[in-house]
Amino acid sequence: MCGIAGYYQLEGEAKPDRDLLRRMVAIIRHRGPDEFGAYFDRKCALGQARLSIIDLSTGSQPLANEDNSVWVTFNGEIYNYVELRPQLEKLGHRFRTQSDTEVIVHAFEQWGVDCLQHFNGQFSFVIYDKKNDRLLAARDRMGIRPLFYTVHNGRFYFASEIKAIFCDENIPRKIDLTGLDEIFTWWTTAPPRTAFENICELEAGGYLEVKNGQIRTGRYWQMQFPESFDRTKSVDSWAEELHALLVDSVRLRLRADVPVGAYLSGGLDSSVTTALIKHFTDTRVETFSIAFHDKAYDESEYQLQMAAYLGTNHHKVACDYRDIAENFPRVIWHTERPIVRTAPTPLYMLSRLVRENNFKVVLTGEGSDEILGGYDIFKEALIRNFWARNPESNWRPLLLKRLYPTLPLSGARARFYLETFYKAGLSQTDAYYYSHLPRINTTSKIKDFFTREVKDRIGNHDSLSAFGRDLPENFNRWHHLARAQYVEARSLLAGYLLSSQGDRVSAANSIEGRFPFLDHRLVEFAAAIPPLYKIFGLKEKFILKRAMRRELPKEIIDRVKQPYMAPDSNSFMQPDPPSYIDEMLNEKALQRNGLFNPAPVASLREKCKRLSHAHLSFKDNMSFIGILSTQLLHHLYIDNFKIPDGIPADAFKVWQDKSDKA
């Protein structure tokens, strides 16, 4: 994993701006503190902050082909580079390094944009094709590694993080109100939109070409589901194939020239990845986890149980309310967008623990829930679809009691609760976002705090349609579980879980997370599994549990799923809270930024204080965290953004076109 940044002149040429590139790389040096590199000519500048993981001695970037006509700066991993290299050598390509980066250059020479179809990896990269005077930018299929871009004054800018683009002080920094509207609907924006005006994000599975002053975007991959499923194969046959793919995916993701660790949450997914490392590789397993002081969120009992069962060398970090409050502003600096939960903050602390133990790479179980049906939102969708066939039924909604046994599902109170929450939108089964309506309705309550001016400026923007603009042609013929999985993967997975809870908080501590469940072969295979084998009755991830029953203890297989969460508003309501909380939420600060109404915010703060020892509703918690994180984002990026000094010139490995006399 690395940080990449640079620019490309859309028309004509210009003197290389070395100082700008040094600043752009400096501000994202946390992504790759091991080495810094740059390439310049009068058309293009490519920068790199490298986290050395593969080919430590000769894998410096930016990197070129044999005649220096094609250059690349690359963030991430191409896991199948070992298999691609001899294939390219047979086609006449000559290699100078042992790195996966060089495979990208030669694959592009051989196949052009179609090279993307050959890669198994997690990546974002930019290729400068000097001979044809064009730029190609691309991002991995699932959106694990980020890439942002903008155009200003005839120049195309790109970077792994938005803050690097803002190192050109001439580029305006302004909150995108439509982006806020989408975040407070979906928890994220729909690419190319971001939280900042005129700053774009390349979508997962997407690419971008710049040539002749024009920018063209395209998509080389998207999640697909069949309209019908093969029901002739037994569940054990599906499970065996899933197991084999998982083993191979884990093996690929252990390719590194540095030690690789694993997160161990105590849940099924991280237990799967850790068990496969233990049973099918020679890697010495070291595991890392979070323990919460608040027992409502703590899973340390199961973490220690699994670590003992697998015999791992286990490390943990303890997290309390104060830890969350103190680290929250740092997390917002790295997420570069408002968030509605504090959950990224303990993960920021966890990646710091990994770094303190001299690891650079960890495997994690992220993605399993999305591809194998692990979330309550999927089970809710199944029940709501069944309910929608007979909306007046008294017993169909009572199936929700099997999901949430503690809900007051009896009598008039139950009827009222279900009709005001889960029954909302029950008639909209044809809407692509039908499965997500309960979550959307809860999150959207944050927008009640917007000022009238913000609401007017957002106008008639339809945030509900944000992820529905280019659905697969046969989307409406998919099974309703498949539709829900697609929407979840495209929105929350790529835009929040792999970003705010993934890349951004791990990269903040120079850690690379790797995701065996998000190998595209595994994703495509899982899409073909009949829904019945993903959610059997209301048992989530049935097929995964079947596949792993030989490697995991029954206690982990049968354990009731506990979604990863962290304390929210009560983290900020303890005695002697950090001063920034009042600085961000006082009346003057709210009026100055003009985003939220001070009086309702004050009432919400008072409610949070009054109930600080209780667990507030999701609506109140998300509202408080969403408002606070937005105020912090404005403070850090609009009011007080500081452009750093550049990487020292003698710390850069610089390649420069010999014809450039500048």
Q: Is 2 a catalytic residue?
A: yes
Residue 575 neighbours by CB distance under 10 Å: 6
* Helix or strand (DSSP H, E) at 653: strand 652-656
Kindly state the greatest CA–CA separation across the chain: 82
Residue 2 sits at φ, ψ, to 5 deg, of -145, 180
* Helix or strand (DSSP H, E) at 219: strand 214-219
* Helix or strand (DSSP H, E) at 362: strand 361-363
User: How far apart are alpha carbons 53 and 507 in whole angstroms?
Assistant: 14
Tell me if 293 sits within 8 A of 395, measured CB to CB. no
User: How far apart are alpha carbons 630 and 618 in whole angstroms?
Assistant: 18
Distance of CA 57 to the CA centre of its chain: 30
User: How far apart are alpha carbons 661 and 513 in whole angstroms?
Assistant: 41
Tell me if 44 sits within 8 A of 9, measured CB to CB. yes
* Cis ω before 192 (30° cut-off from 0): yes
Q: Which residue has the tokens 């690891």?
A: 359
Q: Which residue has the tokens 């913000």?
A: 454
* Helix or strand (DSSP H, E) at 288: strand 286-292
State how far the alpha carbon of 161 is from the alpha carbons of 196, 266, 412, in Å: 12, 31, 51
Residue 640 neighbours by CB distance under 10 Å: 8
Q: Which entry of 2, 115, 200, 319 is annotated as an active-site residue?
A: 2
State how far the alpha carbon of 520 is from the alpha carbons of 7, 406, 527, 627, in Å: 30, 38, 11, 36
User: How far apart are alpha carbons 99 and 85 in whole angstroms?
Assistant: 10
Nearest to 565 by CA among 625, 491, 483, 627: 625
Tell me if 90 sits within 8 A of 23, measured CB to CB. no
Q: Which residue has the tokens 């959610």?
A: 535
If you compute the radius of gyration of the chain from its CA atoms, what whole number of angstroms results?
Answer: 25
Residue 187: which region, alpha, beta or left (left: phi > 0; alpha: psi -120 to 50)?
Answer: left
State how far the alpha carbon of 342 is from the alpha carbons of 239, 335, 406, 584, in Å: 35, 12, 24, 16
Nearest to 99 by CA among 113, 109, 84: 84
Tell me if 408 sits within 8 A of 417, measured CB to CB. yes
Tell me if 349 sits within 8 A of 317, measured CB to CB. yes
Tell me if 573 sits within 8 A of 628, measured CB to CB. no
Tell me if 206 sits within 8 A of 220, measured CB to CB. yes
* Helix %, strand %, coil % of the chain (to 5): 45, 15, 40
User: How far apart are alpha carbons 110 and 108 in whole angstroms?
Assistant: 5
DSSP string of 545-565, one letter each residue: HHHTTTTS-HHHHSSPP----
User: How far apart are alpha carbons 313 and 602 in whole angstroms?
Assistant: 47
Please report, as a single letter, which amino acid is at residue 119.
F
- List the catalytic residues: 2
